[in-house]
Amino acid sequence: MLDWGKLSSVEAELSFIGSDVSGISEFFRAPESPPDHLPHETHKVALHDVSPAASELSLEREGFIVADFDDGQPDYNDRSQLETIWLPHVAELLKRETGADHVFSWAFGRRFSPKLPQSRETQVSTAAVMVHTDFSPGPIGLTIDNKTVDQVIAGIVGDERPRRWKAMNVWQPTTPPPHDRPVALCDMSSLHPEDVCIAQGSSTYENGLTVKHELTWAKYGAHQRWAYFRNLQPGQAIIFNGLDMEDGPIFGLVEHAAFALPDLPADALPRESVETRNIVIWD
């Protein structure tokens, strides 16, 4: 069991959905900045550096782990190489770390520190600062590129129902640490059902496909435990739960967001990263 009291921490600001929001909230832009048309709150939280205790983390308990990752060394600026080289290595990583039989990946791409001009190229190319997950347990949240999860799974395993599936994220830095915008992750065992708010919206990807989707915002709670990896290397990746329909009232949601590292060295490079959403399937 992870002893949070022994971990070093920094205090930094995270942006949460306002406590007066409940049920379905419409939004029409990706959560890269606190949306003007929705109430939101900024809170200072203690972010624990879990790097020294990485071997003690569990997908079943905290909801996230870090793993060594041979990514095939693609040209990260070449989307076709991300698809043909990087994604197959992601699939092998997830199979190795979860024991899954099949992996389906989508919505992959790069993210950049707001200090870099690339961060302004698309709606989803900058570090996301609003605390959220990329999935929800609602019907639209179970839709992948306008197909239902059941349709996607059937295309992989046929008509036979799989034993289990989960949605998971893989996040990899492509610049050395420390990062000016690390990813903060909420220990899912510290998240309460009343902390979660479902939101509907749409996104247009680089290939021009516009899809409706749901995600979940998080409301602030003093009971929440927050973590980050200060020394995460490009040869490593964070794997974290996105949605597990069989995992109780919070559905295995790992709320997350980028934050400004308060004690950043002057010579630190702006963050560059690559990430993807995945369906992980066990026969």
Kindly report, residue by residue over 25-65, the tens digit of the pLDDT. 655 554 556 666 677 899 999 999 999 999 999 999 999 99
Q: What is the mean pLDDT of residues 85-96?
A: 98
> What is the per-residue pLDDT for 169?
98
Task: Report pLDDT for 66.
Answer: 98
pLDDT-derived band at 24 (thresholds 50, 70, 90) equals: low
Q: Is the pLDDT of residue 1 over 60?
A: yes
Average pLDDT of span 99-113: 94
Quote the tokens at residue 189.
């065992």
Rounded Cα distance, 238 and 18, in Å: 28
CA angle 29, 205, 184 (to 5 degrees): 60
Give residue 214's pLDDT band: very low, low, confident or very high (50, 70, 90): confident
Q: Which residues pair with 42 in a beta bridge?
A: 15
pLDDT beyond 80 at 91? yes
Place of tokens 């516009």: 210
Tokens of 138: 């609602």
137 or 4, greater pLDDT: 4
Over range 196-213, report the average pLDDT: 71
Query: To the nearest whole number, what is the mean pLDDT of the chain?
Result: 89
State both tokens at 279: 């369906």
Give 203's contacts (C-beta < 8 A, 6+ positions apart): 30, 123, 124, 210, 211, 213
pLDDT of residue 263: 92
- This prediction has a pTM of 0.93
- Residue 141 has a pLDDT of 64
Exposed/middle/buried for 125, CB within 10 Å: 0-12, 13-18, 19+?
A: middle
Of the two residues 208 and 79, the one the predictor is more confident about is 79
Exposed, middle or buried, 155 (CB in 10 Å: 0-12/13-18/19+)?
A: exposed
Q: Which of 156, 168, 163 is nearest to 98 (CA)?
A: 168
Q: For residue 102, what pLDDT is reported? A: 95
Residue 25 is predicted with a pLDDT of 61
Mean pLDDT calculated for residue range 184-204: 87
72 with 83: CB under 8 angstroms? no
Determine how many CB atoms are found less than 10 A away from the CB of residue 264.
14
Q: Which of 68-82, 123-137, 152-166, 203-217 has the highest mean pLDDT?
A: 68-82
Helix (H, G, I), strand (E, B) or coil at 279: strand
pLDDT of residue 253: 96
Q: Is 89 within 8 Å of 68 (Cβ atoms)? A: no
pLDDT at 88: 98
